[in-house]
Structure 1
């Protein structure tokens, strides 16, 4: 089954209009407190109010300078911590989760992701895992209070750099919840594309983070399927036709990501109606089989 289309708001230029299109499609929306120079969540709130059943994932970790000042004034960060622009300390995670609820106008958040936790303690796995465990404990508290449904991790390089593995994340969540059957870690977000295709290649060989996440039943959100908009300029029509004849290069890239084993959602920052329709038409195609995906990755890997 091909993965579903979801709206990513990191590079989205017209968030209210894009959110309305996503709502009409029943698609997930992914956001963060630092997106849209700190205004993405506020701009999303009206669409979420108009569509209460719409699912949204948000994050805690990165923050704008204005949010850093607010966090210092609230007593959850020191000025030195705020200057870093990123924090996963328990007080900050607890406070930011509350701010996310207020900005999005939701009593309960569908999904809260720790945003690029690998930034917290680069090169120090023990310290990083200790901080992840503490942050997971705060999110488990939020679940118990009815403020959050589930949580997870949104990473850019943490899995590739082996700062943590999916199995380690699940083990940490199980530790704070009192057992693997009790935790509420339900999702993983990571870059998957024909540029950053290591997760695809690994999954095709029955290993790697996508394979582990699928085995654990996690929702897997593939970010940057067009690699920040660069891929359609890299993938020519010949390669697009190898993926599937009749698709544009952008559609071919999206379909390849959406067909990857383990991926459940593909995040696209479609700011216009035409771009959203183009992406929706791509994921509506039958998924590529493993033989075709292997052929595509072999072509791209060849010198």
Structure 2
């Protein structure tokens, strides 16, 4: 591990593993396959792993904890999230309405109170089988019924846990630029987890989020860099998801134009997407999830093989990439 998060002592690897997929995101994943996916990430040199109670109502945390149990604790970094507290759900049923193909033995309750933060973290530690996590993130505060509670209660609670040494670093994860900027400016978080707002396809975070992070010494964890799957294949088509829904025609055409330029330079679209996602100096880690070991290995191989410089020059010339966006050197 090398990049250090904010002013903390917590270090991450440039490529991280996002464990939402092993929470049965959209489809069931066998236990042994989930373990194999985490093992593949470890074999590829990944030592930063991100999860959340939301992912499969606790399934992701349980599986990640079991998969990491055989590795030395000092050698890896784990982050989880707070804000969605899990409580018993006697009605059961499927959790597919929330995107996870698993039994809903628990249900989510928004809770950004100080007590909710502590209860959520304690429950996460139990599911992970760990005595500590390195990083705790406020999860999508803008989606809760009372977003201000996250700023006025949850953040101070995390700040106190950081001062006590219970957690090493704290932050916020969101796809909303205004939320990310506000936490960067009004708090002393170590990390912004930027979800789908700084990708090869579109870079709205370049306008406010990343400059604010740079000014405040806040590290960025870049997630959702394939735009929910649109950029995860060599040639995107109308069957690929975008923003977890149907891709608009104009967005698809732009993605295909980028893919065409990539082909001219002998690289794949996802390879270019991964390289670009980690090039901004504020980005400490690019976090990518997959449920299949082969897909994990493939992403690591792409990440290790940056495209030629001429690719970025042509994308800028074609109006497909902002000229001021940093590119890999």
Give the TM-score normalised by structure 2: 0.68
Select which of 280, 284, 289 maps to 1:264.
284
**Who is 1:124 aligned against?**
none
CA distance in 2, matches of 1:90, 1:283: 38
Measured after TM superposition, the shift of residue 143 of structure 1 is: 2.3
More helix by share: 1
**Who is 2:110 aligned against?**
86
Q: Deviations over 1:241-296 (max 9, x none)?
A: 46xx2222221222221223422211211223332232222222348879649717
Change (3 A) 1:131 1:210: same
Q: Deviations over 1:48-72 (max 9, x none)?
A: 3222121111101235563799xxx
**Who is 1:280 aligned against?**
300
Change (3 A) 1:154 1:165: closer
List alignment gaps of at least 5 residues for structure 1. Answer: 70-81, 122-126, 175-184
Select which of 30, 38, 42 maps to 2:62.
42
- Do structure 1's residue 23 and structure 2's residue 42 form an aligned pair? yes
List alignment gaps of at least 5 residues for structure 2. Answer: 4-12, 23-28, 92-105, 237-251, 323-329
Measured after TM superposition, the shift of residue 27 of structure 1 is: 2.8
Select which of 188, 198, 203 maps to 2:204.
198
Measured after TM superposition, the shift of residue 96 of structure 1 is: 0.2
Change (3 A) 1:139 1:67: farther
Measured after TM superposition, the shift of residue 170 of structure 1 is: 4.2
CA distance in 1, matches of 2:314, 2:138: 30
**Who is 2:325 aligned against?**
none
Q: Deviations over 1:108-135 (max 9, x none)?
A: 21000000011235xxxxx634541311
Which segment drifts farther, 26-35 or 251-260?
Answer: 251-260
CA distance in 2, matches of 1:100, 1:89: 16
**Who is 2:320 aligned against?**
299
Measured after TM superposition, the shift of residue 218 of structure 1 is: 2.5
Select which of 16, 20, 24 maps to 1:10.
20
Aligned residues of 1:57 and 1:110 also touching (Cα < 8 A): yes
Aligned residues of 1:224 and 1:268 also touching (Cα < 8 A): yes
Select which of 169, 173, 187 maps to 2:187.
173
**Who is 1:240 aligned against?**
262
Select which of 114, 127, 147 maps to 2:166.
147
Point out 4+ residue stretches in structure 1 off by more than 6 angstroms: 287-291
Q: Secondary structure at the match of 1:107?
A: coil
**Who is 1:252 aligned against?**
272
CA distance in 2, matches of 1:268, 1:197: 18
Aligned residues of 1:32 and 1:59 also touching (Cα < 8 A): yes
Select which of 66, 74, 96 maps to 2:88.
66
Measured after TM superposition, the shift of residue 139 of structure 1 is: 1.1
**Who is 2:216 aligned against?**
216
Q: How much is the aligned-residue C-alpha RMSD, in angstroms?
A: 3.3
- Do structure 1's residue 57 and structure 2's residue 79 form an aligned pair? yes
Change (3 A) 1:229 1:83: closer
- Do structure 1's residue 32 and structure 2's residue 52 form an aligned pair? yes
CA distance in 1, matches of 2:55, 2:64: 11
Aligned residues of 1:60 and 1:88 also touching (Cα < 8 A): yes
